[in-house]
Amino acid sequence: MRVLVVEDFEVMARSIANGLRREGMAVDVVLDGNDALEHLVATRYDVVVLDRDLPGLHGDDVCRRIATDGRESRVLMLTAADTVKDRVDGLGLGADDYLSKPFDFSELVARIRALGRRSNRPLQPILECGDVSVDSNRRIAFRSGCRLELSAKEFAVLECLLSSKERVVLSDELLERGWDEFVDPYTTTVKTTIRRLRIKLGDPPIIHTVREGGYRIGEL
Amino acid sequence: MRVLVVEDFEVMARSIANGLRREGMAVDVVLDGNDALEHLVATRYDVVVLDRDLPGLHGDDVCRRIATDGRESRVLMLTAADTVKDRVDGLGLGADDYLSKPFDFSELVARIRALGRRSNRPLQPILECGDVSVDSNRRIAFRSGCRLELSAKEFAVLECLLSSKERVVLSDELLERGWDEFVDPYTTTVKTTIRRLRIKLGDPPIIHTVREGGYRIGEL
DNA sequence: CAACCGCTGACACCGCCCTGACACCGTGCC
DNA sequence: GGCACGGTGTCAGGGCGGTGTCAGCGGTTG
């Protein structure tokens, strides 16, 4: 899952980003609204975590812009205020969810996950294919009832493949959805991650290679 | 927008339903979980407003069932409790959003609206001709139900022929659509690829040659 | 602070099969 | 028969993806 954190207080921004990365998300950070808009036209994010009180371009404006442009991303608005009026305002601007500071980190994660599920078309909280299943919320994966111990990247790739179940997913697409903006586009890390994933998934093989492009998960 | 309200306390249920109707939504009401499931198989709802504390079948169970069956609807969970743990739990079960009682009605509406604006993805293009079919998304081809193992070029050519079903496709056109711009225009590779494709497609022949021109796919 | 561990990503190597060229053959038309 | 076009058999090479390994990094633990 690809997340953009927009928060001007750098310490907070970093802390959120690192926390989310530990949860296996690919996180980019920007410190102001204009930067946010630039990133949003360049990259497809599943979820934008948006501080409402930004210097310069206000969070509300960013939110409105995201809502007007054909929205690809879900917006989770962060704010210091917490009156019902604020919450309704936020949702009215096109935010998809709302969280007031101070917040509990596990709740932030839960809400981002819930939003992320909606942005992926087949919006199933539990993704399945054959005897392989992942629970995005709990970040656990199974094969024929057996729990798999997956690393963050392995999980991200598996999740991505499953969310496009049976469809071919290009390596570039995996890279885009599972890694942050600083990744070398010629990296071989997807190849390596797929390999590790295959080993952990065991037999019979369920991740298929499509020459000249990418991978597909499916029983045949 | 089609909404199902699941709430055992009838006064509350009616009040919510009427309020939503005033907002222009089509609302059905049921008072318990089993009824909810029945309605869900019969009708496609955009949003389900689900009370967590239901007599009989618990809200969590309903939620889980919605999540397991290919979910069409988004779930907004209503609850009396409002601890962080509860909220995380709810989202973890596959609810898409969460609201604790007592809630502000305008916030309920805003959240339902936020959940409601979603589109269904377009159908995947499957090209067919006679007993030959190609699924572009999955990069899979079949002949009379039997999976064909095609290489990238073979697949590209077959796809191209099928997309111009029954029409003559010139070799140059195949070259243009299946190869990159640097290909030698006098190459014989299309000829070779067609041959390999014919072998894999087997009998009866379905790719026909048009002298001086190209190829056509069709049953006769 | 040192030792350790798991995750990540780079890199080198290897083997396969895809690719495309070429030579030859079959066929229909002049 | 000769020619032109397309089908067939075959072969070399190279590209792509799989595999094994290693080093760096960050977090954790004693």
Sequence-distant (6+) residues with CB within 8 A of B130 are B206, B218, B219
Assess contact for A59 and A52: CB atoms under 8 A. yes
Strand D, CB < 7 A, residues 164-203 of B? 188, 191-192, 194-195, 198
Q: Is nucleic acid strand C under 7 Å from A184's C-beta?
A: yes
Question: If pLDDT is split at 50, 70 and 90, which confidence band does B168 have?
Answer: confident
Interface with chain A: mutation pick from B138, B142, B147, B159, highest number of A CBs within 10 Å:
B138
Residues of B in contact with A106 (CB under 8 A): 84, 88
Q: What is the DSSP letter of B124?
A: P
- Alpha-carbon distance values, B74 to B8, B87, B134 (Å): 20, 16, 33
Does the beta carbon of A72 lie under 8 angstroms from any beta carbon of chain B? Answer: no
Average pLDDT over residues A77-84: 73
Give the nearest nucleotide to A149, CA to C1': C6
Q: Is the pLDDT reported for residue B167 higher than 70?
A: yes
Distance from CA of B117 to the nearest CA of A (A): 10
Residue A122 has pLDDT above 50, yes or no: no
pLDDT at A196: 92
- Give the domain ranges of chain A: 2-119, 126-217
* Cβ contact A151 with chain D strand, < 7 A: no
User: Could you tell me which residues come within 8 angstroms of residue A113 by beta carbon, excluding any fewer than 6 positions away?
Assistant: A1, A136, A137, B91
Q: Which of A104, A137, A213 sits opposite B92 (nearest CB)?
A: A137
The predicted pLDDT at position A130 comes to: 81
Q: How far is residue B98's CA from residue B107's CA, in Å, rounded to a whole number?
A: 11
How far is the alpha carbon of A101 from chain B, nearest alpha carbon, in Å?
Answer: 13
- Give the pLDDT mean for A82-103: 70
As a whole number, mean pLDDT of residues A14-28 equals 86
**CATH number for domain A2-119, candidates 1.10.3720.10, 3.40.50.2300, 3.60.90.10, 1.10.20.10:** 3.40.50.2300
Average pLDDT, chain B: 79
Q: Please confirm whether the linkage preceding B102 is cis (ω < 30° from 0).
A: yes
Query: Is A216 in contact with B139 (Cβ distance < 8 A)?
Result: yes
On whether the B2-116 domain is CATH 3.20.20.70, my answer is no
Measure A166 CA to C3 C1' (Å): 45
For residue B124, give how far its alpha carbon lies from the nearest alpha carbon of chain A (Å).
Answer: 10
Inform me whether the pLDDT recorded for B119 exceeds 70: no
Q: Is the CB of B153 under 7 A from strand C?
A: yes
Q: Is the pLDDT of residue A125 over 60?
A: no
State whether CATH 3.30.70.660 applies to domain A126-217: no
**pLDDT tops 70 at residue B71:** no
